Structure 1
Amino acid sequence: MKKAIIIFFLFMAVGAVAYTLYNNKTEMNEAANLAMKSSEFISITTEKVAKKTVNRNFEANGVFEAHQELKLMSETSGSIVKILKKKGSYVKRGDLIVQIDDRLIRADYEIAKLNRDQAEKDLQRYANLAATDAITKKQYEENEKAFKIADAQFSALKKRLADTQITAPISGFINEDYYELGTLVSPGMPIADIINKNPLKLAVKVSESEIAKVKRGDMIPVEVNAINGQEFSGKVDFISDKADASFKYEVILEMTGKDADQIKAGMFGTAKFEFSQNEEVLQISRKSIVGSLKNPGVYLIEKGEAVYQPVTINTLDEGTVEVLEGLTEGQEVISSGLINIKEGTKVKVQ
């Protein structure tokens, strides 16, 4: 009797487990079916292609640069014995800045000059003798060779002597100097930094759509961040023919007017390009664009499915783009949920 009761409870336990497993399987199947039904489409939102008013004027920021800037180097060795210009001095091209001790080089130069002059006289005398066949051709050629050697030595020492006088290769201000009286210099050692900021230039970067409006010779208003309440002007002096990696083109403005002397190289400026009045263009949000700005596109909805549409755009401000080709006013494009969408994906507007 006791054994029969145990068997009965075992059958009851097995039945309970089987029933629970059956119910769990049913619930899992229902959940899977529900998931399959819910994955039949992706919830999205849309926006309409609409006409909006834009202003084609634009601004571009940049840094003012000197017209010329170089680091003057020594081409000889020796100690500085005379200083004529220091930091902050204005120099004209060819002005003497420092004099390096030239006593030894000058002595060698004078000897070389005497040797060269003597060799020239000897060559002339031998040329006269050769004309009367008083000497052989070989004797004349040896004297000609001696003159060329003496002349080359003289030219080399003349250059070395000139190198002891370090002069300004351009006109401008000495922005930094690296010498004192008695400083021992050597070839390649920096002597001074010279800056010629006349005329000063402002380099800015503009986009593909903006560059088409800029022309060489255009006069552009310019604001200097460090000089409040005053407006300057610059003339477009250079426009690059090729865009950089960010699809921007370089434009260089040459600053004009007497007040431009207030601007220092390294200051920040803003060029204000003003060309046209307000106009209406087709616009959509930047977030509705898929792909890169080089190969952009959007997704339309046809019969409940996403359809890819390539477009031509122009980037505007405030996160919007102008649609140049590919869409018409009133069309709806998918604006959210794009991460899971591809051609033919079933979608449902929320």
Structure 2
Amino acid sequence: MKKALLILSGVAILALMAFQLYNNKVEMAENAKLSEISSDAIPVETTKASRKILEEETTADGQLEPVTDLMVISETQGRVIRVLRKKGSTVSKGDLLAEVENDLLEAEVAATEANYLKLKADQERFSKLAEQNAVTQRQLEDIGIGLKNAEAQYKSAQKRLSNTYIRATASGFINDDFIQEGSYIGGGAKLYEIVDDQQLRLNVKLTARDILRIQKGDTVEISSNLYAGETFKGIVSAIAVKADASLKYNVEIELLNSAAQKLKPGMYTTAHFHFKQKEEALYLDRNALAGSLQNPQVFVVNGETAELKNIEVGASHGPWVEIISGLSSQDQVVSSGQINLTDGTKVKVLH
């Protein structure tokens, strides 16, 4: 009895396996048929080239610099007797910053002035006498030479006296000072560093292609990561005529700081150059290219088949490439699915 049950169980298992194998074969055959049916037409998405005027943006980073960043240098020597402005002060051009002892120079100016005025009066007197032939021409010439020397000595003494009054040579902010009352300074000593943070300058590098599209006086947007969503206005003030070692050209941009003076010298910022085309051109989505930019090709839907066409392209602008020839704005160009296509493949356009 047990033997009979074992035999029946074995037969049942074999029958079940045979049935499963049969079902698998049927399913595979049906899938093969579906594959044959679906392979008749490759599904694709299409696009069309369109005529438009594009606006392209080029960005370049740089560090802000003050237009005015100068050092006030001593043109005299002596002991500092007064310091009127220190680091942190805002000054205007010509403001008195400090004073160096000048008693002897004041006396020298007074003496040279008196000598100059005396010789000037002598020249006038000798000129009248010369008209009456009361003095020789040589005497008159000597007086003239003496007057010129006296005038030079007087002006030299005035200049040296003036140099003892240290004045701001530009308007701005005293970023640092190197002077203190009672100290002795010599000629050429650094006294003050004056920085004007109201007028800033930004130097950036652009390619040859980009500098041909800008000119002096163009407006440029300036942005900083420190002020998200806020832009500042800059003006192109200079464009280099010679490229550097990296084959890029320096472009200098000047900008007036805002009333709040948010931007500071030394901050990193980005210049945004916007280039707008003068005329319309035909553009195609770069994703539609089946070949490279060096060997551009596209698939164009012609009826129910895809036709491979050679085209000529121009410059690329972001996701767009300019079409010079080979396409019209009416052509249906495959933009997705072209990897499965060859010339003459049947296609089905998905909508």
Task: Name the TM-score, length of structure 1 as normaliser.
Answer: 0.62
Aligned pair in 2 of structure 1 residues 100, 248: CA closer, same or farther (>3 Å)? same
Residue matched to 2:216: 216
Separation in 2, partners of 1:282, 1:228: 31
- Equivalent pair of 1:237/1:253 in contact (CA under 8 Å): yes
State the 1:77 CA deviation.
Answer: 0.7
Residue matched to 1:191: 191
Aligned pair in 2 of structure 1 residues 59, 123: CA closer, same or farther (>3 Å)? same
Residue matched to 1:124: 124
Q: Deviations over 1:116-142 (max 9, x none)?
A: 111112222222211111122222222
- Equivalent pair of 2:283/2:322 in contact (CA under 8 Å): no
- The code of the aligned residue for 1:79 comes to R
State the 1:276 CA deviation.
Answer: 4.7
Separation in 1, partners of 2:68, 2:251: 17
- The code of the aligned residue for 1:143 comes to I
Aligned pair in 2 of structure 1 residues 244, 314: CA closer, same or farther (>3 Å)? farther
Separation in 2, partners of 1:123, 1:193: 47
State the 1:109 CA deviation.
Answer: 1.2
- The code of the aligned residue for 2:258 comes to K
- Equivalent pair of 2:211/2:249 in contact (CA under 8 Å): yes
Tell me whether 1:173 sits opposite 2:173 in the alignment.
yes
State the 1:88 CA deviation.
Answer: 1.6
Q: Deviations over 1:31-85 (max 9, x none)?
A: xxxxxxxxxxxxxxxxxxxx9xx98422110111112111111111111111121
Secondary structure of 1:75's partner? Answer: coil
Tell me whether 1:148 sits opposite 2:148 in the alignment.
yes
Separation in 2, partners of 1:324, 1:116: 83
- Equivalent pair of 1:76/1:187 in contact (CA under 8 Å): yes
- The code of the aligned residue for 1:156 comes to S
RMSD: 3.9
- Equivalent pair of 2:221/2:232 in contact (CA under 8 Å): yes
Secondary structure of 2:261's partner? Answer: helix
- Aligned counterparts, 1:219-238, within 5 A: 219-238=219-238
- Equivalent pair of 1:226/1:267 in contact (CA under 8 Å): no
Residue matched to 1:246: 246
Separation in 1, partners of 2:131, 2:154: 28
- The code of the aligned residue for 2:265 comes to A
Aligned pair in 2 of structure 1 residues 279, 252: CA closer, same or farther (>3 Å)? farther
Separation in 2, partners of 1:145, 1:212: 60
Q: Deviations over 1:171-212 (max 9, x none)?
A: 111111110001211111111111123321222111122223
User: Which sections of structure 1, spanning at least 5 residues, go unmatched?
Assistant: 1-50, 289-297, 300-312, 330-350
- The code of the aligned residue for 1:192 comes to Y
Separation in 2, partners of 1:193, 1:83: 15
- Equivalent pair of 1:67/1:196 in contact (CA under 8 Å): yes
Residue matched to 2:58: 58
Separation in 2, partners of 1:260, 1:241: 35
- Equivalent pair of 2:221/2:271 in contact (CA under 8 Å): yes
State the 1:315 CA deviation.
Answer: 10
State the 1:168 CA deviation.
Answer: 1.4
Separation in 1, partners of 2:155, 2:138: 26
- Aligned counterparts, 1:299-338, within 5 A: none
- Equivalent pair of 2:64/2:201 in contact (CA under 8 Å): yes
- The code of the aligned residue for 2:181 comes to L
- The code of the aligned residue for 1:70 comes to L
Residue matched to 2:87: 87
- Equivalent pair of 1:232/1:260 in contact (CA under 8 Å): no
Q: Deviations over 1:74-117 (max 9, x none)?
A: 11111111112111211111111111111011111111111111
User: Which sections of structure 2, spanning at least 5 residues, go unmatched?
Assistant: 1-48, 296-313, 328-351
- Equivalent pair of 2:283/2:323 in contact (CA under 8 Å): no
State the 1:164 CA deviation.
Answer: 0.7
Aligned pair in 2 of structure 1 residues 184, 324: CA closer, same or farther (>3 Å)? farther
- The code of the aligned residue for 1:198 comes to Q
- Equivalent pair of 2:284/2:322 in contact (CA under 8 Å): no
Separation in 2, partners of 1:92, 1:108: 30
- Equivalent pair of 1:60/1:205 in contact (CA under 8 Å): yes
Give the stretch that moved more between structures: 165-174 or 223-232.
223-232
- Aligned counterparts, 1:291-302, within 5 A: none
Bigger Cα Rg: 2
- Aligned counterparts, 1:277-296, within 5 A: 279-280=283-284
- Equivalent pair of 2:284/2:323 in contact (CA under 8 Å): no
- The code of the aligned residue for 1:222 comes to I
Tell me whether 1:182 sits opposite 2:182 in the alignment.
yes
Separation in 1, partners of 2:154, 2:323: 72
- The code of the aligned residue for 1:154 comes to Y
Question: What percentage of aligned pairs have identical amino acids?
Answer: 32
Separation in 2, partners of 1:279, 1:56: 13
Secondary structure of 1:151's partner? Answer: helix
- Equivalent pair of 2:217/2:237 in contact (CA under 8 Å): yes
Secondary structure of 1:275's partner? Answer: strand
- The code of the aligned residue for 2:163 comes to D
Secondary structure of 2:157's partner? Answer: helix
Separation in 1, partners of 2:136, 2:180: 58
Separation in 2, partners of 1:220, 1:209: 17
